[in-house]
Amino acid sequence: MQPLLDIRNLSVRFGAAPAVDGVSFTVAEGETLALVGESGCGKTLTALSVLRLTPPAAVVEAESIALHRRELTRLSEREMRQVRGKEVGVVFQDPLTALNPVWPVGEQVAEGLRLHEGLGRRAAWERTVEALREVGIADPRRRASEYPHQLSGGMRQRAMIAAALACRPPLLIADEPTTALDVTLQAQIIDLLLRLREERRLSILLITHDLGVVAELAHRVAVLYAGQVVESAGVAALFRRPLHPYTRALLSAVPRVDGQAGRRLATIEGAVPDPTRYPSGCRFAPRCPHALEPCREPQELREWEAGHWVRCGRAGEWTT
């Protein structure tokens, strides 16, 4: 498969603190890659760096961020704006705050169309209505002129997706697209994303801490911990044989049957270390039940088996 997005050695620092530290991954055409980890592990920052949307205080360094083999890091701000919305669409976690309350939802879809497709007001509006219909909003013509607060939560997220995909970008960054929604709506949105992926051969960079969503949507998974990729593999391989103790902890924290409390990550002892005070060795060691003396040394990401990478010297030393 041809990599659509190729990120090599990406770091994001706030002052001296590396919130993202040497992350590399690729997303192929039509592929869905899930970035997984607890909050604060740097997954949203990683995604935002692609579009250069990180907060002003963040310093982004990368060997390469390439989209269609085009080096994004070398683009001017003006060229970057052509990429945003046109080549990469973004869906945010909470559609209520991510939609501007003082403009009709349709306008927020249409403005991208006018900008990137050079459409006139009327044509853009027609495409907007169409885009809203495609994401499954009933009576899209009426909904288009309504304000976000007049729409239900599910509809808002559909509208958000419509706005992100209106210009038919090949890559969608979906940042916790279902987290703010209740279970039924989550399923609907996942179905919608699956459908759009099939229809458009869409690549998706999915950011989530919800392994349930990962299981349903992702082809491959990269697990982030403390700004580093600690394990990456195909979704089946990862679920079958998680190698890193952190991944194992994540998986064991998933309540398998109970759907009520949400398939959220249950707590793992301790907390993600502060980026200013990472341990010198394995960053998970302080929380790791299997940590030994060698874990005090920095750990390299190594290929355990084909396509299955892990950052743990003791990987495979235990089972179950």
Q: Enumerate binding residues for other proteins (CB under 8 A).
A: 51, 53, 81-86, 89-90, 92-94, 97-103, 108, 111-112, 115-116, 147, 149, 160, 163-164
Assess contact for 222 and 34: CB atoms under 8 A: yes
- Comparison of 84 and 311: residue with beta carbon closer to other proteins: 84
**Beta carbons within 8 Å of 250's beta carbon, 6+ residues apart:** 36, 211, 223, 242, 265, 268
CA–CA distance, 171 with 91 (Å, rounded to integer): 11
- Comparison of 87 and 231: residue with beta carbon closer to other proteins: 87
Q: If DSSP states are collapsed to H, E and C, what string results for 207-243?
A: EECCHHHHHHHCCEEEEEECCEEEEEEEHHHHHHCCC
What is the smallest separation between the CB atom of 197 and other proteins, expressed in angstroms?
A: 19
- Comparison of 164 and 315: residue with beta carbon closer to other proteins: 164
- Comparison of 83 and 250: residue with beta carbon closer to other proteins: 83
- Comparison of 163 and 268: residue with beta carbon closer to other proteins: 163
What is the smallest separation between the CB atom of 92 and other proteins, expressed in angstroms?
A: 6
Q: Which two tokens stand for residue 198?
A: 């099939």
What is the smallest separation between the CB atom of 162 and other proteins, expressed in angstroms?
A: 11
CA–CA distance, 162 with 167 (Å, rounded to integer): 9
Residue whose tokens read 């853009």: 124
CA–CA distance, 240 with 265 (Å, rounded to integer): 18
Print burial letters for 89-101: b (CB count within 10 Å at least 16), e (below 16): bbbbbbbeebbee
What is the smallest separation between the CB atom of 190 and other proteins, expressed in angstroms?
A: 21
What is the smallest separation between the CB atom of 50 and other proteins, expressed in angstroms?
A: 10
SS3 of 67, please? strand
What is the smallest separation between the CB atom of 188 and other proteins, expressed in angstroms?
A: 21
- Comparison of 100 and 252: residue with beta carbon closer to other proteins: 100
